[in-house]
A = this chain, B = another copy of it.
Amino acid sequence: MSDLYLEISDAGISLDLRQAGLTAEVLAAARGRVDGALDEMALLEGGGEANSTEGRQVGHYWLRDAPRAPVGLDEAIMAGHAARGELADAVARRYGSLLHVGVGGSALGAQLLVDALGDGSHEVVFADNLDPEGLARVTDGLDLATTGLVVVSKSGSTAEVEVGLAHVRAALAGAELALGPRAVAITCSGSPLAQVARDESWRGTLPLWPWVGGRTSVFSSAGLFTAQVAGADADALLAGARRMDAATREPDLTKNPAALLALAWEAAQSDRPRAMVVLPYRDRLQLLGRYLQQLVMESLGKAERRIGGPAACGLTVYGNKGTTDQHAIVQQLMDGPDDCFVTFVEVLGGPAGAALESGVTAADLLSGFAYGTRAALSAAGRRTIALTLEQLDASSLGALIALFERAVGLYASFLDINAYDQPGVEAGKSAAAAALVVQHQLIGRLEEGAEGDAAHFASLVGADPQQVFHVLRHLASSGRARSSGEGLTRRFSAP
């Protein structure tokens, strides 16, 4: 359709869906479903129990528009923002660097905001994994004496965060520096982390709420505290998101950018699954693809419908940045299977950059390549979507994130799935816990003098031989077992 172009002027964003494969027939047929999805969104924003499997409200939209929150929560939200604003300012004044410990939804939003909006005034580094060498690399590069610490975990008991905190604790102790005065906890009230922060008199604690999921917590202190320390305008981020929320409550679907975006995603799945490739044409937005990967895949990758019955749905997201990806994935996007649609994110304005002899500037080339790649993909039959930001600032980035949050919510309604739980993550955690139990048992048997191959140890502890092989090899590599021979029949014994 030729008129699928929307400018959301007060949010500084335009959305071009003219090459997205939407037709007048698709839109006409979708009207009832869009109405239903918008009604559901209104119920969610009104405080309904939208996360049915977890029996929870879903309140991330309230974070940027507190008056919409249920009575009582509005004041708590405003108080949270005020406390975060004061504490972030104080930490920014006191420290030159900030170490952010968190993983998943407790890290990626802050990482995106810092990279996109940081003003360079503060070095901000992230400890977002269990890897001991990776953790060491993070702290080894810091002057700990001038580094503030923020630890983010909704539950307050995430393994990655426990390990990260233990690592930082040891590093600070090694430097004879106190942890409490430089540390801020961001967590739910009453969590183990909140308890530690209280017991150790941390500099401050900021609240998270059970009704805000990790992947949509960027507008809570989980994202905004660190972003503000890095120089981002937290109020402008909230205002941009609030403006996009308003634009996406529009009942006329042809004027509702989130409804149109969700319909474009749905249309791209009409005859075969197609992945969403995200190509932002700005280095500062390089993490956008990873951020949306988490938001979209964790929200939409679901096994069950809300009414029951199998869904097995999802929407794969990948992509790094243009033009760089022109030299990596674009070959397959052009010539490979018709299994993706490409979302271009362009930013107007900014510096012109170096000029070549022809007078063409770096910015001209960047814009030309964005257009050229899109045109070539369209000519090859690929669906494309183009989002254009008037400029890269806190307001437009807030609006951009909000647009995707709202589109995810509407699309989940179309699919009749719960966008706000993550049951599939638990199985891996349980299996990991079981592996650690097996490890404990195997250490015991080794200490008792047991010897043999993995199959032998598996029979001793009643576990799967593949699992036992994996654990024994790990124990051998860390000096807690001896290994001889090779292959699956290698023998293990006490060191």
Contacts and interface: CB of A to CB of B under 8 A. Distances in A.
A474 B348 CA distance: 6
A365 B9 CA distance: 48
Contact of A348 (B290, B324, B348, B473): B473
Nearest to A296: B332
Contacts of A487: 5, 7
Copies in the complex: 2
Contacts of A3: 488
A298 B471 contact: no
A239 interface: no
17 contacts: A7-B486, A130-B362, A131-B281, A133-B350, A136-B351, A273-B337, A290-B320, A293-B329, A302-B335, A314-B335, A316-B316, A330-B425, A361-B478, A368-B439, A372-B428, A373-B428, A379-B427
Interface stretch (A64-72, A100-108, A197-205, A244-252): A100-108
A439 B371 CA distance: 12
B327 A103 contact: yes
A425 B335 CA distance: 9
A8 to B, nearest CB: 11
B334 A432 contact: no
Contacts of A352: 132, 478
B351 A321 contact: no
A42 interface: no
A294 interface: yes
Contacts of A18: 466
Contacts of A482: none
Interface string A458-495: 00000010110011011011100000001110000000
Contacts of A466: 18
B300 A312 contact: no
A161 B3 CA distance: 38
A388 interface: yes
A425 B356 contact: no
A297 interface: yes
A230 B364 CA distance: 34
B338 A312 contact: yes
B281 A334 contact: no
A140 B141 CA distance: 19
Interface stretch (A84-92, A162-170, A260-268): A162-170
A485 B406 CA distance: 28
A367 interface: yes
B331 A301 contact: yes
B375 A431 contact: yes
Contact of A436 (B354, B368, B474): B368
Nearest to A380: B427
B132 A362 contact: yes
Interface string A252-274: 00000000000000000000010
A1 interface: no
A27 interface: no
Contacts of A281: 131
A105 B327 contact: yes
A162 B105 CA distance: 38
B167 A130 contact: no
B283 A369 contact: no
A163 to B, nearest CB: 5
A55 interface: no
A365 B294 contact: no
A361 B159 CA distance: 11
A160 B323 contact: yes
Residue of A329, A351, A377 with most partner-chain B CB within 10 A: A329
Interface string A409-435: 000000000000011110111111111
A313 B350 CA distance: 39
A303 interface: yes
